[in-house]
Amino acid sequence: MRQKEISLNIQPIKPLDEELDDDHILSSWETPVRPDAFDLDDNQKVDKIEKHFKEIMTILGLDLTDDSLAGTPRRVAKMYVKEVFSGLNPKNRPHARLFDNKYNYDQMLVEKDITFFSHCEHHFVPIYGKAHVAYFSSGKVIGLSKINRIVQYFSKRPQVQERLTVQIGKEIGLALNTPDVGVVIDANHLCVASRGVGDTNSKTGTAYFSGKFKDENIKREFLNYINSK
């Protein structure tokens, strides 16, 4: 069966005075966090979120004395803080150990089909898909698993796909001290599929190209590679 090719379906950003409920308005490439975001430690955050999520469930009319629901507020709180939004905390940022490029490899290095799970910051429902990352070494390389960890770190926070793509690209460039980075993300958004318009077939593509990847031939080589079997 012929593999489906990655396509870039980048939607224009609409003016702020339009209807905002379903529009993904992008305000910054930095994740918007308050200066006091880490005044509380993780355990304190879990305790507070548990209390508030219990109130949400109560308002919805759920019976928290039921065995199946009784532990849900605590489970959700721990999941938020220690798993799906753990990328908000800079202490979880991956530390990339650099190695000399002893083989003098001067061609494109590509890691494709990196599975990621994130959450839409507008409705707090999942975004999931594949990230494809490439770079040219400027004399150093990093372990392949560190590329995956960088993708996961920025995914584990409330996101919009455009910001996620740029954050990964900039972090790879910073970690490797190279200006030559390419990132393509192909993702499904449950804010589109499971609610609102209810479209389960559409995907969204975004890309980040810097340095050599702005050259059309290099860009085409990268895109051809990630579309190959």
> How many other CB atoms sit within 10 Å of the CB of residue 121?
16
What pLDDT shows up at residue 199? 62
122 is catalytic: yes
pTM of the model: 0.84
Query: What number is the average pLDDT over the span 150-160?
Result: 97
Q: How does the average pLDDT of the chain come out, rounded?
A: 87
CATH architecture of 42-84: Orthogonal Bundle (1.10)
CA-to-CA separations, 82 to 44, 70, 117, 157, in angstroms, rounded: 12, 20, 14, 11
CATH code reported for the domain at 97-227: 3.30.1130.10
24 is catalytic: no
What pLDDT shows up at residue 13? 34
Domain ranges of the chain: 42-84, 97-227
Cα 143 to its chain centre, rounded Å, is 20
Choose, from 122, 132, 159, 167, the residue flagged as catalytic: 122
d(CA 170, CA 115): 19
Residue 161 has pLDDT above 90, yes or no: yes
Instruction: Look at residue 38 and give its three-state secondary structure.
Output: coil
Residue 202 has pLDDT above 90, yes or no: no
What pLDDT shows up at residue 4? 46
123 is catalytic: yes
pLDDT in tens, 163-189: 999 999 999 999 999 999 999 999 999
Residues with Cβ within 8 Å of residue 190, at least 6 apart in sequence: 120, 125, 126, 127, 128
d(CA 11, CA 181): 22
Choose, from 50, 152, 159, 191, the residue flagged as catalytic: 191
Choose, from 161, 162, 167, 171, the residue flagged as catalytic: 161
